């Protein structure tokens, strides 16, 4: 099965019943699969007029209580940024898939990149936090899509599946379980205000039609959901909570793999380049090479870097000119070396071996 198809199957298995999207290479197969499958599953597929409208429709659908998602690539992701901020501010659980291609602008439509890793963290204005997952196989296109819906619901936050053209378009064997466990947002308790948070900073959810009248606004609002745009404390309380509810749960959200924790030279990867690192480690059985592979990149699990107590250098192959490497650099004292590659092709094992020999 193709990666993009597996993503759509994961969404369907997770109970996604709304897809609003605008097709864009290299993500189009997700929309195609959803268009074919959703109506038969009792869901709704809408081909929207553009990406601004797509994410708006997804937010609206999520507020009816549906699991909702859209899929796009860089140019569409840029267009979605305004309403992604709105989703963060209104604490709307939804999933946005970005099958990354070469940018900036329309760039390389058919080629792979990981150039939107900071955009998915900081792309909309103002302070907020979100969750981003990075699959490295067709199986993970399925598994992490399921997981993205769960995280979106648990934390009431727009959640990103940051794939790339390589995992989106390659075909591998996938095991699809008969059913997957799906959470749903904690319902709003009777007597609670619509944006009154629990001890984890997360309010209960009362979608439209649930019997509670909820005012939803992108303006700074109080616990009732009513705008309160001039009180410094109201703004501080709300926005600080939006960030803290994610950042304080970094350990609960974290998902990563550790290989050879005793190693002195450690690769840190996410997405497709991790496959090349795994090949290099496999091909050099006597050589102690560490590998931290992140399946969740935001919130950034800085504690995972401590799993390598002997590390003398961290190497970071990315399909960009060095993005997540900055995040690693600010958390460790050791040198952190970027191994950037752009143009659309995955690092080859030989390229990583020469980087290894140069920097260890």
Partner 1 sequence: MRHEVRFSGYGGQGIILSAVILGRAAALYDGKYAVQTQVYGPEARGGASMGQVVIDDAPILYPEVADPDIYVIMSQQGFEKYGTRAREDAVMLIDADLVRSRPACRAYEIPATAEAKTALGREIVANIVMIGALVAATEIVSREAIERAVLDSVPKGTENLNIKALKRGFELGERACKP
Query: Exposure pattern of 135-165 as b/e (b: 16+ CB <10 Å)?
Result: bbbbbbbbbbbbbbbbbbbbbbbbbbbbbbb
Position among 37, 241, 275, 341 found at the interface with partner 1 (CB under 8 A): 275
x-or-dash string of contact with partner 1, 81-120, rule CB under 8 A: ----------------------------xx----------
Give the DSSP per-residue string, 73-112. -HHHHHHHHHHHHHHHHHT--EEEEEEEEE-STT-EEEEE
Q: How far is the CB of 283 from partner 1 (least distance, A)?
A: 9
The reply on whether position 171 binds partner 1 by CB under 8 A is yes
Closest by CA to 97, choosing from 155, 174, 11, 157, is 11
Burial-class residue 173 by CB neighbours within 10 Å (0-12, 13-18, 19+): exposed
Give the DSSP per-residue string, 290-340. EEEEESEEES--GGGGGG-TT-SEEEEEESSSSSHHHHHHTT-SS-EEEEE
**Residues 347, 351, 352, 357: what is their CA dihedral angle, to the nearest 10 degrees?**
-170
Q: How far is the CB of 129 from partner 1 (least distance, A)?
A: 32
Q: How far is the CB of 111 from partner 1 (least distance, A)?
A: 8
d(CA 213, CA 191): 13
DSSP 203: B
Taking CB under 8 A as the binding criterion, the range among 144-152, 191-199, 259-267, 341-349 that sits at the site for partner 1 is: 341-349
Sign of CA dihedral 300, 302, 308, 310: positive
Q: How far is the CB of 170 from partner 1 (least distance, A)?
A: 5
Taking CB under 8 A as the binding criterion, the range among 11-19, 119-127, 274-282, 294-302 that sits at the site for partner 1 is: 274-282
Q: Which is nearer to partner 1, 221 or 293 (CB)?
A: 293
Which DSSP helix (H) or strand (E) runs through 34? helix 28-37
Q: Which is nearer to partner 1, 25 or 320 (CB)?
A: 25
Closest by CA to 91, choosing from 185, 193, 160, 183, is 185
Burial-class residue 32 by CB neighbours within 10 Å (0-12, 13-18, 19+): middle
The reply on whether position 282 binds partner 1 by CB under 8 A is yes
Q: Which is nearer to partner 1, 157 or 163 (CB)?
A: 163
The reply on whether position 229 binds partner 1 by CB under 8 A is no
The reply on whether position 302 binds partner 1 by CB under 8 A is no
The reply on whether position 346 binds partner 1 by CB under 8 A is yes
Position among 27, 124, 276, 320 found at the interface with partner 1 (CB under 8 A): 276
- Dihedrals φ, ψ of 289, to 5°? -125, 125
Burial-class residue 170 by CB neighbours within 10 Å (0-12, 13-18, 19+): middle
Q: Which is nearer to partner 1, 260 or 276 (CB)?
A: 276
The reply on whether position 310 binds partner 1 by CB under 8 A is no
The reply on whether position 48 binds partner 1 by CB under 8 A is no
Q: How far is the CB of 282 from partner 1 (least distance, A)?
A: 6
Position among 91, 116, 143, 278 found at the interface with partner 1 (CB under 8 A): 278
Q: Which is nearer to partner 1, 12 or 259 (CB)?
A: 259
Taking CB under 8 A as the binding criterion, the range among 54-62, 178-186, 240-248, 269-277 that sits at the site for partner 1 is: 269-277
Contacts of 283 (CB under 8 A, 6+ apart): 349
The reply on whether position 172 binds partner 1 by CB under 8 A is yes
By rule CB under 8 A, what count of residues binds partner 1?
A: 20
DSSP 226: -
Q: How far is the CB of 65 from partner 1 (least distance, A)?
A: 37
Q: Which is nearer to partner 1, 4 or 83 (CB)?
A: 4
CA distances from 121 to 124, 126, 138 (A): 8, 11, 24
Q: How far is the CB of 166 from partner 1 (least distance, A)?
A: 7
* Sites of contact with partner 1 (CB under 8 A): 26, 109-110, 165-166, 169-173, 272, 275-276, 278-279, 282, 345-346, 348-349
């Amino acid at each position: 099965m193709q990666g993009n198809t597996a993503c759509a199957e994961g969404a369907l298995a997770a109970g996604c019943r709304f897809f609003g999207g605008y097709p864009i290479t290299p993500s189009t197969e997700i929309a195609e699969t959803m268009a074919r499958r959703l109506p038969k599953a009792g869901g709704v597929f809408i081909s929207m007029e553009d990406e601004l409208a797509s994410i708006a429709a997804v937010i609206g659908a999520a507020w009816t209580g549906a699991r909702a998602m859209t899929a796009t690539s860089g140019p569409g992701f840029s267009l979605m940024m305004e309403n992604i901020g709105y989703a963060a501010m209104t604490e709307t659980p939804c999933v946005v898939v970005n099958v990354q291609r070469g940018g900036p602008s329309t760039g390389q439509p058919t080629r792979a990149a990981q150039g939107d890793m900071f955009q998915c963290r900081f792309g909309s204005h103002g302070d907020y936090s979100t969750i981003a997952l990075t699959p490295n196989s067709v199986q993970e296109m399925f598994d992490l899509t399921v997981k993205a819906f769960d995280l979106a619901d648990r934390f009431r936050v727009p959640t990103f599946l940051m794939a790339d053209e390589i995992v989106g378009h390659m075909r591998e064997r996938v095991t699809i379980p008969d059913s997957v466990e799906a959470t749903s947002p904690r319902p709003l308790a009777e007597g609670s205000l619509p944006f009154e948070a629990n001890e984890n900073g997360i309010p209960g959810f009362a979608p439209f039609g649930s019997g509670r009248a909820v005012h939803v606004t992108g303006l700074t609002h109080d616990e009732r959901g009513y705008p309160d745009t001039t009180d410094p404390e109201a703004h501080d309380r709300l926005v600080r909570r939006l960030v803290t509810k994610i950042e304080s749960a970094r350990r609960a959200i974290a998902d990563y793999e550790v290989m050879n924790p005793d190693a002195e030279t450690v690769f840190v990867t996410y997405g497709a380049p991790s496959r090349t690192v795994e090949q290099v480690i496999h091909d050099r059985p006597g050589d102690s090479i560490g590998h931290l592979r992140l399946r969740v990149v935001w919130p950034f699990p800085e504690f995972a870097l401590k799993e390598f107590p002997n590390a003398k250098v961290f190497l970071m192959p990315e399909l960009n000119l060095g993005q997540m490497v900055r995040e690693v650099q600010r958390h460790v004292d050791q040198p952190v070396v970027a191994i950037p590659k752009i143009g659309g092709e995955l690092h080859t094992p030989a390229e990583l071996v020469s980087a290894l020999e140069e920097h260890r």
